[in-house]
Amino acid sequence: MQPQNEVMRRDVKVWQGVRAALPIVLGYLPLGFAYGVLAREAGFNLWETVLMSVLLYAGSGQFIAVSMFGSGVAAAAIIFTVFLVNLRHLLFSASLVPHLRRFRPAALALLAAEITDETFAVAINHYSDHEAHLPYHFGLNLTAHFSWVLASLLGGLAGNLMGDPARFGFNFALPAMFIILLVMQLKDKQTLVVAALAALFSVVIALLWPGSWNIILATVIAATLGVILEAWTGKF
């Protein structure tokens, strides 16, 4: 009796995770489609477009990688920029530790591959009043990832047919995504100041020094100033 109960319970948990992913899927479909279109525009073929969604699986990182590649930026600078952009996942992963530390490292290594802003937000919210379950988490992660890959494939297929994506406003899909992600990051006054400093440094450095180092330099300087500012104003 006991094993059968376990199996049924696992089944229920998986579907709970799948259902929890549905709002994410609604957001991922248009965004993944836009990525697919932009990747083809930047010179990726269909398989490269889909492979990036399978292996990298990070919306903003993928938009940045293909747009930088399209403007002829070197691979090393692209990889380093994506590293900085996705470094925030370190915080997500660290915040999941208290909920997931009792599970096997191998399972966690698999689960970690599909941590995104959205799946993290849904999972950590669920774990604030439910016990953590791997079947739930994998149901959530795999559903979200599948919808992202599917949307990239559809965008990649459409990309070749629709001509100049700017005609449909796709040239603003990336800035618009940065705007909403930035708005969601602006939690307090310090973060707002750091963001404003980063924007200013990024523009000034880009004007003085063409290339893509403005993103990395502005981020490191602004975040460091944020920590110094925090110490100064005695926030902690």
Under rule CB under 8 A, which residues in 111-150 are in contact with another protein?
A: 111-113, 115
Q: How many CB atoms lie within 10 A of CB 7?
A: 10
Q: Give the count of residues interacting with another protein (CB under 8 A).
A: 97
Three-class SS state of 8 = helix
Residues 6+ apart with CB under 8 A from 36: 49, 151, 152, 153, 154, 155, 156, 157, 158, 159
C-alpha closest to that of 52 among 160, 147, 175, 152: 152
Answer for the pair 70, 37: CB distance below 8 angstroms, yes or no: no
Closer of 111 and 150 to another protein (Cβ) = 111
* Site for another protein contains 22 (CB under 8 A): no
* Site for another protein contains 232 (CB under 8 A): no
Q: How many CB atoms lie within 10 A of CB 145?
A: 20
Q: How many CB atoms lie within 10 A of CB 100?
A: 18
Q: Which listed residue (3, 105, 208, 232) binds another protein by CB under 8 A?
A: 105
Rounded Cα–Cα distance for residues 167 and 184 (Å):
28
Answer for the pair 143, 25: CB distance below 8 angstroms, yes or no: yes
Q: Which listed residue (47, 163, 189, 209) binds another protein by CB under 8 A?
A: 47
Closer of 8 and 110 to another protein (Cβ) = 110
- For another protein, what does the binding mask look like between residues 48 and 87, x meaning CB under 8 A? x--xx--xxxx-xx--xx---x-----x--xxx-xxxxxx
Closer of 14 and 205 to another protein (Cβ) = 205
Name residues contacting another protein, limited to 172-201 (CB under 8 A).
Answer: 172-186, 190-192, 194-201
Three-class SS state of 58 = coil
Q: Minimum distance between the CB of residue 128 and another protein, rounded to whole angstroms?
A: 18
Q: Which listed residue (8, 169, 189, 233) binds another protein by CB under 8 A?
A: 169
Q: Which listed residue (6, 8, 22, 45) binds another protein by CB under 8 A?
A: 45
Q: Minimum distance between the CB of residue 212 and another protein, rounded to whole angstroms?
A: 9
Q: Minimum distance between the CB of residue 159 and another protein, rounded to whole angstroms?
A: 15
